[in-house]
Chain A
Amino acid sequence: MSAAIVVGVLAAGGTYLILQRGIVRVALGFVLLGHAATTLLIASGGVGTRAVSFAGAGADAADPLPQAFALTAIVISFGITAFLLALAFRSRDVLGDDDLERGP
């Protein structure tokens, strides 16, 4: 339940931000949406079991696969965030602003 609420709040905030005009806000919006997806992935393995997997794993060992998914997704979204911020930086040089609708 708590995971569902976290995903909902993150997705709502992310959706609001990606509808803005500035690239930096859009980038932050995608950060939030990425967190929503990561949380959902972790929750898909079940949030009840969260002990260490593999090493001396008992009955409450966490499912390791969603953690691997989440890690991959985090790395990818980190890379794309960096790229979006680089675009914003370049946009300031070319358009004088990170707002796409303004400038020449």
Chain B
Amino acid sequence: MNASAITLLLALPLTAGAVAVLLRYRRALQRTLTWVTLGTVLALSLALLTEVRTGGPLSVDAGGFPRGLAIVLGVDVLSALMLTIGSSMTLVGSVFAALSSEDDHPLFHPLILILWSGVALAFVTADLFNLFVAFEIMLIASYVLLTLRGGARQIRAGVLYVGTNLLASTAFLLGVGLIYGAVGTVNLAAVATAVRTDAGAMAGLTILLVAIVAKASLVPLHGWLPRTYVEAPPVVTAIFSALLTKAGVYVLYRLGSVVLVELDGFLTLMMVLAAVTMVVGVLGAVGGHDMRGILTFHMVSQVGYLVLPLGVWTRGAIVAGLFYLVQYVAVKGALFLAAATVVRLEGTDDLGRLGGLMRTRPWLGVAFLLPALALAGIPPTSGFLGKYLLVRAAFEAEAFWAGATAVVVSLFTLLSMIKIFNGAFWGDAPTDADTTASEPSRAAVTRVRTQAMIAVPLTIGLAALVLGPAAGGLLEVVGDAADALLDPAAYLAEVGR
């Protein structure tokens, strides 16, 4: 395959996003355009993944400018893997939005496409300033998606969300400026070599790291996430959970691979941050009282698991981390989609106002239970395998306390999943007085549509169940990605030539 497929990967969703704005009153066309575009992007990502696994990293100079002037877009196994899983979850999310009628806002589909363009750009760029632009594209789309309903709660959450992310972006920009002032380039490969000897560039990189930690929502810079994501439309929360913080985690892995892990103290810092993030996130989740509130706190907690390999940095740890990342994006998306189904059908996801759903909608219960077990890491799900590999890698690297923290946090994760299950699915149905407000939305959903909505998280849940025992193929792919991360010479040579 030609490396220019990388350009196509970015140009397609951006163009489709612009066209979809023009089609804003033609819902059916708009949906088809979004699905065809995301489907094509998914196919391209899969083709790229096959290509870079056999042929090594690919790169392209945006706009055909000569090297040195051009913005370099580079794809290695990790980028291609992130593109694949990200585009498939975006596709699933946009299909679900059509089923649950959450795409009735004319700008929903264009925003999803633009959001994805930004995320995809973040996954392929090898240029620090371009990475800033990628984050901004994705964040601006997410600002609008979050506040699409325009109610008082969305405004409050929106200002907190925009404020935090804008501050992090400004810090990121300052870091890029300092790095450029010190070494005269923003190409990742050139920066990676120059930063080892230049104190000014080191200062810039540190600021950059703080900004990325905030975007990935690691403790202590996590406070914005649980308070804002819950106010987004339910399906938007599902898509955010699959894309936004994961882009931050991806950048941490990328920067970690090319330069950070060789710096003194970085491994210890990441391990401490990861362990604290796991604990703080899960404690917040145990205290939650609505489905999405609990799930968003879990996002914080799980970022700790995803970042733990950066504190160990052995092949086993990276393989475990990436395997966990891939299955977690799908599983967490499924949980949010199950919660979105509950919101759509029952009008609320407050555990105090739900109950007895297992009797009225048994399949919805299963659709929530399967990914919930995978999230908590119960065998034989994929989540169990990911956590097992991660904890084993931590113990092998003699990071006993970090491994032990991961195990204990899993128990609390299970506890909060049981809390949701007890509150929403077991027990008695709520009395009529509690549910009067939600009656209209119940009546509005047809039977076929309900079944289709439930089928989405159910399918992902079943996939997670199968992926546990049959993980061989995926483990090979993430193994290749881990090798490329451990020895980034080929990637650096490709993007820095």
Contacts and interface: CB of A to CB of B under 8 A. Distances in A.
A30 B159 CA distance: 12
A95 B181 contact: no
A37 B163 CA distance: 16
Contacts of B140: 76, 79-80, 83
A69 interface: yes
B173 A41 contact: yes
Contacts of B158: 87
B177 A69 contact: yes
Contact of B180 (A41, A94, A104): A41
Interface residues of B, number: 27
Nearest to B162: A84
- Does more than half of chain A's interface fall in helix, strand or loop, or is it mixed? helix
B69 to A, nearest CB: 8
A65 B159 contact: no
B143 A37 contact: no
B162 to A, nearest CB: 6
A23 B180 CA distance: 33
Contacts of A65: 180
A61 interface: no
B150 A45 contact: no
A83 B176 contact: no
B173 A87 contact: no
Given A37-B174, A76-B136, A80-B140, A45 B155 contact: no
A45 B170 contact: no
A69 B170 CA distance: 13
Contact of B143 (A23, A33, A40, A83): A83
A51 B156 CA distance: 46
Given A65-B180, A72-B133, A94-B150, A87 B159 contact: yes
Contacts of B162: 80, 83-84, 87
B129 A69 contact: yes
A80 B178 CA distance: 23
B155 A26 contact: no
B151 interface: yes
Nearest to A92: B155
Interface string A41-67: 101110000000000000000000110
B135 to A, nearest CB: 10
Interface string B131-172: 011001000100110010011100110110011001100100
Given A84-B162, A87-B162, A44 B178 contact: yes
A80 B140 CA distance: 7
Contact of B173 (A37, A45, A84): A37
A94 B152 contact: yes
B155 A87 contact: yes
Contacts of B144: 83
A8 interface: no
Q: Which 4 A-B pairs have the closest CB atoms?
A: A44-B181, A40-B177, A37-B173, A41-B177
Given A34-B170, A87-B159, 9 more contacts: A23-B159, A30-B167, A36-B174, A41-B173, A44-B178, A45-B180, A69-B177, A80-B166, A87-B147
5 contacts: A30-B163, A36-B170, A37-B177, A84-B162, A100-B156
